[in-house]
A and B are shown apart, each in its own frame.
Chain A
C-alpha cells in the first residue's frame, strides 16, 4: 500500500517543486520519505500545519514552489493562516490524507474528518477528492497545475480507503 505516494512524488518533481512542508503522517510516509531523500527538495518538518501555509507563502515570495502534506485533522489548524493565501492570492497546493471516513477506529478523528472539505472550501480552497489509487497521479498533477499554473489554492483529499486501517492493535 501507499505506492500512490510515488505517483504524487513524480507529479511534484515534474512540477518543479523546491520545498515540501509536512507534518509526519502514516498515510504520507512513503511520499515524505521520498521527499526527504531527494537532493533537490527541501523537506520542512513542521510543529503545526499552519506553519506550512506560511512557509508556502514565503517560498513563493522567493520564487520557489512549495507543497504541503498533512492529515485531515491538521486542516483545522490552518484556517486563519489560509487568509494569507486568499488575501494575497498566493498559489497553494496541499495533499491531505483523510481520517474519519473509512473504518475509522478513533472517534476523535470524526469531527475534523467529516468536515475537511467544507472547512477548506470556506477558507477559499478548491477541493478535489480521490479514492482510486489509479487516479492519484493524474489528480495530483492536476492539483499542482491548478495551483502553480492556474495560481489557485488547490487541495486534493486522499480517501481513507487509500491508507491502511489503523486499529491500535484492537
Chain B
C-alpha cells in the first residue's frame, strides 16, 4: 500500500468547511462514512442529508434530488470507497446531465471506517479519469489549497455535472456524529426545503 496519502496537504475537515461555507443554500448529501463526520463537524444543519448506510448510494441519492429540484444546487460529498461501490452511477448522472449537480470525492485512498485499508485509488484507480470515461466531462483532481481556492467557484456554482476528486490526507480524526435517526434526517431536510407541511 502506498503511504503517499499520509502526506497529502489538504485536510478533509477544512475542505468540508470550505465547501459548506461557499454557499448557504446548497443541498448536500454526504456518503458513508467520513464525509458525514466532516460535514457534521463543519456545521450540522437541515440541508445536509448524511447516509449512515446504503453504501454506493450517495451519488444516485444526489441525482434524484437534483432532478427533483433543478433550480437548487446539489452537492454530493462522499469518500473514495463509497464512490467505488456505486461507480456505475456516474454514467447514470452523465446521461441525465443535471446542470445543478456537483460530486466531490474526498479521496484519502483508504476505507476509513474499517481500519484505513487501502482502496483501489491507493494504487491504480483514477476516479477523475473514470468519471470522464463514463461521460462527465467536467472532471478533475484537486491536490492542494491553491487549486481548491482557484476552482471553488466552478465547483459550487459551475454548470454541472461537476466531478472533483479532492485528494485529502489519510489522518486519524475525532468522530463528529450527526443524528442516526433516518426518519428525523429525512424530515428535517424536507421541512427545510419544502416547508413544515412536507413532514
Contacts and interface: CB of A to CB of B under 8 A. Distances in A.
A18 interface: yes
B67 A42 contact: yes
Interface stretch (A25-33, A58-66, A100-108, A120-128): A58-66
Given A57-B61, A58-B65, A42 B96 contact: yes
Interface in B96-124: 96
Nearest to A90: B186
Interface residues of B, number: 39
A97 interface: no
A129 interface: no
A34 interface: no
B62 interface: yes
Binding site of B, secondary structure by majority: helix, strand, loop or mixed? helix
B193 interface: yes
A58 B183 contact: no
A61 B91 contact: no
Contacts of A44: 63-64, 67, 92, 96
Interface in B141-155: none
B161 interface: no
B29 interface: yes
A61 B49 CA distance: 9
B51 A64 contact: no
A80 interface: yes
B67 A59 contact: yes
A57 B64 contact: yes
A170 B6 CA distance: 59
A123 to B, nearest CB: 12
Which of A18, A21, A63 counts the most chain B CB atoms within 10 A?
A63
A166 interface: no
B57 A59 contact: no
A45 B92 contact: yes
A53 interface: yes
Contacts of A66: 64
A99 to B, nearest CB: 22
B198 interface: yes
Given A51-B60, A56-B64, A63 B69 contact: yes
A62 B92 contact: no
Interface of A: 18-19, 21, 42, 44-48, 50-64, 66, 80-81, 83-84, 87-90
Interface of B: 27, 29, 49, 51-69, 72, 86, 88-89, 91-92, 95-96, 182-183, 185-186, 189-190, 193-194, 198
Given A57-B57, A88-B183, 13 more contacts: A44-B96, A45-B95, A47-B89, A47-B91, A48-B88, A55-B60, A58-B29, A58-B64, A61-B68, A61-B193, A64-B64, A83-B53, A89-B183
